Amino acid sequence: MVAYSDSACQFSVICLADSTLRKIPLALLLEQSDKDLEMANDVINLLIKLALKKEKREFEFLCLDAESRYRQLVEASPELLEKVTQNDLARYLGITPVGLSRIKKRVLEDI
């Protein structure tokens, strides 16, 4: 469910490592934030981090080509390349698996 509406979420997530998921109803989170300034500040900080992460991702898609996005990902999160399939990696980069293969080949040639 989407936080502020009754519509279904348009995406799903996959955990790459064992994880514990805690479901907190939004109404309860908002109610507790009204009562607890520290919790309210924690929620605000979490939302700011999320906004910055989304802004960075949007910049990458709007301003960088696929090869630059791949190179940046390799530099920032090399361990991720071992954990995801080429199809998932291509989807994350917004390209086809064939396009990713070509980019990987060019990057390896540069090394």
Q: Is the pLDDT of residue 70 over 90?
A: yes
| Rounded Cα gap, residues 110 and 40, in angstroms | 48
Q: Give the rounded percent of residues in the chain with a pLDDT score beyond 70.
A: 96
Q: 């080429």: which residue's tokens? A: 86
State the DSSP code for 7.
Answer: S
Query: Would you say 96 and 90 are in contact if contact means Cβ atoms under 8 Å apart?
Result: yes
Nearest of 16, 19, 21, 14 to residue 77 by alpha carbon: 16
Averaged pLDDT for residues 90-94: 94
Q: Which two tokens stand for residue 62?
A: 């709007």
Q: Dump pLDDT digits (tens) for 3-39.
A: 667 788 888 888 888 999 898 888 899 999 999 999 9
Q: Is the pLDDT of residue 81 over 60?
A: yes
pLDDT band at 51 (very low <50, low <70, confident <90, very high): very high
Average pLDDT over the chain, rounded to an integer:
91
What pLDDT is attached to residue 2? 61
Averaged pLDDT for residues 69-82: 93
Q: Which two tokens stand for residue 101?
A: 């293969």
